[in-house]
Structure 1
Amino acid sequence: MTKLSVNVNKIATLRNSRGGNVPDLLKVAMDIESFGGQGITVHPRPDERHIRYQDARDLKKIVRTEFNIEGNPIQKFMDLVLEIQPTQVTLVPDAVGAITSNAGWDTIKNRSFLHEVITTFKKNDIRTSIFVDADIKMVEGAAETGTDRIELYTENYAKSFAKGEMKGIDPFIKAAQVASELGLGINAGHDLSLDNIKFFKDSIPNLLEVSIGHALICESLYFGLENVINMYLNKLK
């Protein structure tokens, strides 16, 4: 079964919009696990506009499933990850002011840098993943960095699916096949939803984990968090 890791950034955004501690991020994370979620993902950004660095420290103390921290490996981020020692770190090439992730790494141009960062994390027994587009050359470049996994950036798939263009999955299938041949684990995330997750999961060989936040929280406004998590789990079987 493909694991579901729930990104709780939007919970932090809601909390921060009003000040105080409502909703309680830590309680929500514990509830997600009790509802069947198999991981918690956070993506702290330098301006801490949603997840704060202290949130990541606090979550480490209570997460009982897998803890995945995403971000651009600037020194501040690397120091945080090495301090916390999460299950997995996912490297994302975000610009400082980016609203959300909007591209994968160029693993060829950044091969040396990524190799150095990944070596540091793996020496500390932290599983590594690189956020990449569904591009065979980028997957091949990722393999040369020494990473354990890739995370396929799925926005283009989601847009194609919404238009009824099923061939939008093809580059992802090819990228996943190459990743498997190269011994890389496969994760995926960005704009995956209840509408498009099953077709994606059924099409991608050896899909280990999906990280879903924005859509899952929006869907929970209608169906409730516990119901939505179980709806995802059913589609990921």
Structure 2
Amino acid sequence: MTRLSVNINKIATLRNSRGGNVPNVKDAAINCQKFGAQGVTVHPRPDERHITRKDVYEIKPVVTTEFNIEGYPSEDFLKMVTEVKADQVTLVPDTHKQLTSDHGWDTWKNLSFLKEIISRLQENGIRTSIFVDANPKVIEGAAETGTNRIELYTEPYARLYPLGRAEAIQPFAEAAKFAGNIGIEVNAGHDLSLENLNYFYQNIPNLEEVSIGHALIADALYMGLETTIQKYLDCLKPKR
């Protein structure tokens, strides 16, 4: 079964636009799980423009499923994720001022760095995932780091899906198959939506988890959080 982890960053963005604590991200984490999500994802950035470090510590006690924390592995970030004992850490190569993740790691160029970081995280009992493009060579490099998983950066799939879904899915299916053949588990995320998620799920082997935030939270504005999460879960029903 492919698990759905809901990224609640956008709820924090809305809260921060006004100040105060409405909407409450801790309550959002509780409700996402109550409504069926099998994980909660956050991506705290250095400027704290959405999820803050304080949020991370406050959310952890209410996570009864899986707590996935994304981010660039700075020393401050590593200290935080080990202190809260994240279930999974997804390493992303974002710069400090980056609006959103828009590329995966060059795993060969950063091999020594990633090896060291992943070893530290795994010594603390944290499963690791590396954010990568759908490129077998990069995935081969990820395997060399010792990571447990990769997360496929799916924006190119989402962008090309309306133009031809068979062509859009091909490199991702091949990448996931390659990862499975060399013993790496596969997550995926970025711009997955109700429009394109089911087709992705039906055609990607070894897919352990999808992390979805922007589209899901946007849909929830119209349909409500409970209905929206159920619709996303419907997209991940067992393959026929």
Task: Flag whether TM exceeds 0.5 (same fold).
Answer: yes
TM-score tier (shorter): over 0.9
> TM-score under structure 2 normalisation?
0.98
Q: Distance in 2 between matches of 1:193 and 1:12?
A: 20
Which residue of structure 2 aligns with residue 191 of structure 1?
Answer: 191
Which residue of structure 1 aligns with residue 20 of structure 2?
Answer: 20
> Considering only aligned residues, what root-mean-square deviation do their CA atoms show, in Å?
0.7
Which residue of structure 1 aligns with residue 211 of structure 2?
Answer: 211
> TM-score under structure 1 normalisation?
0.99
Measure how far apart 1:168 and its partner are.
Answer: 1.2
Q: Distance in 1 between matches of 2:148 and 2:133?
A: 16
CA deviation map 1:107-155 (0-9, x unaligned): 0100110000000000001000000000000000000000000000000
User: How many equivalent pairs are there?
Assistant: 237
Which residue of structure 2 aligns with residue 137 of structure 1?
Answer: 137
SS of 1:40 mapped into structure 2: strand
- Where does structure 1 lack aligned partners over 5 or more consecutive residues? none
2:174 partner amino acid: K
Which residue of structure 2 aligns with residue 102 of structure 1?
Answer: 102
Which residue of structure 1 aligns with residue 125 of structure 2?
Answer: 125
Which residue of structure 1 aligns with residue 41 of structure 2?
Answer: 41
SS of 1:167 mapped into structure 2: helix
Which ranges of 4 or more aligned residues in structure 1 deviate by more than 6 Å? Answer: none
Measure how far apart 1:166 and its partner are.
Answer: 2.5
Which residue of structure 2 aligns with residue 177 of structure 1?
Answer: 177
Measure how far apart 1:164 and its partner are.
Answer: 3.2
SS of 2:145 mapped into structure 1: coil
Measure how far apart 1:82 and its partner are.
Answer: 1.1
5 Å matches for 1:139-158?
139-158=139-158
Measure how far apart 1:165 and its partner are.
Answer: 4.2
CA deviation map 1:33-65 (0-9, x unaligned): 000010000000001110000100111111111
SS of 2:70 mapped into structure 1: strand
Q: Distance in 1 between matches of 2:113 and 2:178?
A: 23
Tell whether the 8 Å contact from 1:36 to 1:229 is kept in structure 2 after alignment: yes
SS of 1:144 mapped into structure 2: helix
Q: Distance in 2 between matches of 1:46 and 1:9?
A: 14
- Where does structure 2 lack aligned partners over 5 or more consecutive residues? none
Tell whether the 8 Å contact from 1:160 to 1:166 is kept in structure 2 after alignment: no
Q: Distance in 1 between matches of 2:44 and 2:69?
A: 8
Q: Distance in 1 between matches of 2:68 and 2:14?
A: 21
Tell whether the 8 Å contact from 1:4 to 1:209 is kept in structure 2 after alignment: yes
The answer to whether the aligner puts 1:64 opposite 2:64 as a matched pair is yes
1:152 partner amino acid: L
1:90 partner amino acid: T
CA deviation map 1:200-232 (0-9, x unaligned): 000000100000000001111111110010001
Question: Identity of aligned pairs, percent?
Answer: 59
Q: Distance in 1 between matches of 2:205 and 2:165?
A: 20
